[in-house]
Amino acid sequence: MILVTGGAGFIGANFVIGWLDGVDEAVVNVDKLTYAGNLGTLRSLHGDLSHIFVRADICDRETMDVLLAEYQPRAILHFAAESHVDRSIHGPADFVQTNMMGTFTLLEAARHYWSTLPDGEKSTFRFLHVSTDEVFGSLDAGDTPFSERSLYAPNSPYSASKASSDHLVRAWHHTYGLPTLTTHCSNNYGPFQFPEKLVPLMITRALAGDPLPVYGDGKNVRDWLYVGDHCSAIRAILSKGHPGETYNIGGWNEVTNIEVVRTLCDLLDELRPKRTGSYKDQIAWVPDRPGHDRRYAIDARKLEREIGWRPAETFASGLAKTVQWYLDHPHWVGEVASGDYRKWVETHYAKSA
């Protein structure tokens, strides 16, 4: 049994679905179901006795203690986080509460639970904390990519709250001996991503005939990681990672934002052509956002050297899969956009009560 937090969000849900598809081990899936947590994403697991969903807040220490005592997981995989930079700029309090206080609460619950385990189970227990490359700040064009030894320099309320949570995880390992693992991933994309993020935002707005807003000059660079690759890396790190270590997970795909948007437009022109013109005609330039980091790049050689992992998808193959998924799943996109999935959640829980 493993326990996953944030398993109804984008990365967490992809992890849970992939785990149960390939591993014969049950999952306790804990999610508060905020705006980006969509239980509808997990419909394929309905009736699967290996998937135990619990609607709960990781800041609720009493509930976390009860869940750990009841299910006795061999590992906790901590995905739960507020993760959108723009939202953090306008409302940082939620990010401090979830990313900092939530991680603190979960660490304390895990420490208490871990301390009660028999020696054999205690030595194999893991607390895997999923973080971001944004904690390292911004790179210039000629700078070397972020490594696991890069200094922290967060520039947004979101990245500052994640940096704080990373420090807590590190301290709980070094002070209390809790066997932790921390991962820093680059920009994820793929199925089930909430439409406020760049890739699904551009796909959904393009199909709706709306302008495609690009910040500043569009030359901000990100390393792009297909979510399925990210999940496979986490499985590998959980299996082979050394307690107390951090691992960078990257896709080896540095691409500017405008290149991402234009590539998406090219794919849509091919797969769902407009009656006239190109989707590129909808590109609209907008003023840059405050504190917009110029470049992120991940050096993931440690992960390859010590764990033997490399991404399976190129940027071209991963983006093509992503566009096709959104074209094939308009119902999911419509539910998220309209809020109907929230009604489904309330109905589901009423029936389950």
Q: Report the pLDDT value the prediction gives residue 333, as an integer from 0 to 100.
A: 87
Reported as a pLDDT band with limits 50, 70 and 90, residue 340 is low
- Which element (helix H / strand E) includes 208? helix 198-208
Those residues whose C-beta lies under 8 Å from the C-beta of residue 16, and which sit 6 or more positions away, are: 4, 7, 27, 29, 42, 45, 51
- The DSSP bridge partners found for residue 76 are 3, 127
* Burial group, residue 229, by CB count within 10 angstroms (0-12, 13-18, 19+): buried
Buried b (16+ CB within 10 A) or exposed e, 315-340: beebbbebbebbeeeeebbebbeeee
Q: Report the pLDDT value the prediction gives residue 343, as an integer from 0 to 100.
A: 59
Reported as a pLDDT band with limits 50, 70 and 90, residue 209 is very high
Q: Report the pLDDT value the prediction gives residue 347, as an integer from 0 to 100.
A: 58
Question: Which long-range contacts does 279-286 make (Cβ < 8 Å, 24+ apart)?
Answer: 279/206, 279/212, 282/205, 282/206, 282/209, 282/210, 282/211, 282/212, 283/211, 283/212, 283/214, 283/258, 284/211, 284/212, 284/213, 284/214, 285/213, 285/214, 285/216, 285/217, 285/218, 286/213, 286/214, 286/215
d(CA 67, CA 48): 19
Across residues 207-227, what is the average pLDDT? 95
Write out pLDDT tens, residues 135-150: 999 999 899 999 999 9
Residue 284 pLDDT > 70, yes or no? Answer: yes
Domain boundaries, the chain: 2-192+222-256+297-315+340-352
Q: Write out the catalytic residue numbers.
A: 133-134, 158
Task: Look up the CATH number of domain 2-192+222-256+297-315+340-352.
Answer: 3.40.50.720
Nearest CA to 250 out of 293, 203, 197, 314 is that of: 314
Residue 119 pLDDT > 70, yes or no? Answer: yes
Q: Report the pLDDT value the prediction gives residue 349, as an integer from 0 to 100.
A: 40
Coil, strand or helix: which one is 69? helix
Phi, psi of 171 (to 5 degrees): -65, -40
Q: Report the pLDDT value the prediction gives residue 339, as an integer from 0 to 100.
A: 62
Coil, strand or helix: which one is 152? coil
Residue 59 pLDDT > 50, yes or no? Answer: yes
C-beta of residue 126 within 8 angstroms of C-beta of residue 75: yes
Q: What share of the chain is helix, strand, coil (3-state, %, to 5)?
A: 50, 15, 35
Reported as a pLDDT band with limits 50, 70 and 90, residue 346 is low
Secondary structure E strands in 56-165:
75-78, 126-132
Coil, strand or helix: which one is 63? helix
Q: Considering only 65-69, 267-271, 273-277, 287-291, which range has the smallest mean pLDDT?
A: 287-291
User: What average pLDDT does the structure give for the chain?
Assistant: 93
